[in-house]
């Protein structure tokens, strides 16, 4: 749900802030995320130190997400609609099972694939069923978004190595801090001249704060817990529900119009998610 709404908030930043850029959004987003979460974890003594030999994995994790993934995703959102971006990102579950099978020899359950295919069919209905699906099919935007999908597969493979060894909040806190350190020098070099041109309005700061605390922190914590308890393939299936929440948010604020294909697609997507997840749970219980 949180990730679904994030597309709409990012799009709103580009609309309301003429001079804001991908690197500025992501640097400020991770700065606020780290400024809120790390002090809280230190005060509560919940921040686990990185163990010897794991620093490289954390650096790789943060390189994939948020650094490369967010550059690709936010660049794509800048060129296509928020709901279209969320639909492309929702194809991640189609590729993650094959990545897990190749790296970890994780078995792909037949009904998991059925659920993925059904969810993707629902996404197709949402996108093209109303006849307006090609409006936002900007080739450059779609290329950026599919780059995000490929990066997410690598990220998930690295995350699997860490979820059983560290608490979800610890993984997310270090991931955001290292991500901020990746973004800061790039942002200053590429977009430093645009910083004085921003409005720094309460709306801008509120949108970035919500993106940082909820989308870059809490959503990743929830996802890490899901990967730990359900496995990477089963957890990834839930990302197919992202466009559902993107669409609902876009409808509420007037960014999208309602057609028959959208509620029909929502039903199909959620049916696929439930089918794959219920069967997966029954097999492991």
Q: Is 254 left (phi over 0), alpha (psi -120 to 50) or beta?
A: left
* Mean per-residue pLDDT, 102-109: 70
Q: What is the spatial distance between Cα 198 and Cα 196, in angstroms, rounded to a whole number?
A: 6
Identify the band that residue 114 occupies on the pLDDT scale cut at 50, 70 and 90: confident
pLDDT tens, position by position, 255-279: 666 677 777 877 787 777 677 665 4
Residue 193 pLDDT: 95
| pLDDT at residue 186 is higher than 70 | yes
* pLDDT, averaged across the chain: 83
Q: What is the pLDDT of residue 7?
A: 76
**Contact status, residue 37 vs residue 169, Cβ threshold 8 Å:** yes
Distance CA 61, CA 66 (A): 8
The Cα–Cα gap between 57 and 10 comes to 28
Q: List Cβ neighbours of 152 (8 Å cut-off, separation of 6 or more).
A: 64, 65, 69, 89, 92, 96
Query: Can you give the pLDDT at residue 30?
Result: 95
pLDDT surpasses 60 at 285: no
Q: Is residue 28 over pLDDT 80?
A: yes
Tens digits of per-residue pLDDT, 43-87?
998 899 999 899 999 999 999 998 999 889 878 877 877 667 767
- Of residues 104 and 173, more confidence is placed in 173
Cis peptide upstream of residue 66 (ω within 30 degrees of 0): yes
Average pLDDT for 236-245: 78
Please tell me the predicted confidence (pLDDT) of residue 129. Answer: 66
CA angle 29, 35, 40 (to 5 degrees): 130
Q: Which of 59-68, 183-192, 229-238 has the lowest mean pLDDT?
A: 229-238
Distance CA 150, CA 181 (A): 23
> Which positions ≥6 away from 161 have C-beta within 8 Å?
57
Q: What is the pLDDT of residue 3?
A: 85
């Amino acid at each position: 749900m949180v990730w679904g709404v994030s597309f709409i908030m990012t799009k709103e930043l580009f609309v309301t802030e003429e001079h804001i850029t991908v690197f500025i959004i992501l640097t400020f987003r991770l700065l606020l995320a780290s400024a809120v979460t790390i002090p809280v974890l230190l005060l509560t003594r919940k921040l686990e130190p990185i163990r010897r030999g794991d620093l490289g994995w954390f650096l790789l994790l943060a390189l994939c997400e948020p650094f490369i993934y967010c550059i690709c995703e936010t660049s794509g959102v800048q060129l296509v609609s928020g709901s279209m971006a969320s639909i492309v990102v929702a194809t991640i579950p189609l590729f993650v099972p094959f990545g897990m099978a190749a790296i970890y020899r994780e078995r792909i359950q037949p009904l998991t694939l059925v659920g993925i295919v059904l969810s993707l069919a629902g996404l197709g209905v949402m996108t093209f069923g109303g006849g307006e699906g090609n409006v936002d099919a900007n080739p450059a935007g779609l290329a950026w978004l599919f780059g995000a999908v490929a990066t997410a597969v690598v990220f998930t493979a690295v995350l699997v190595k860490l979820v059983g060894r560290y608490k979800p909040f610890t993984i997310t806190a270090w991931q955001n801090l290292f991500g901020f350190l990746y973004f800061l020098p790039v942002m200053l070099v590429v977009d430093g001249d645009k910083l004085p041109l921003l409005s720094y309005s309460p709306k801008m700061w509120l949108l970035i704060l919500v993106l940082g605390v909820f989308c870059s922190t809490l959503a990743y914590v929830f996802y890490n817990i899901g990967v730990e308890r359900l496995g990477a393939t089963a957890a990834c299936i839930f990302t197919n529900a992202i466009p559902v929440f993107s669409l609902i948010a876009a409808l509420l604020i007037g960014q999208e119009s309602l057609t028959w294909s959208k509620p029909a697609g929502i039903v199909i997507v959620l049916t696929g998610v439930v089918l794959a997840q219920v069967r997966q749970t029954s097999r492991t219980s």
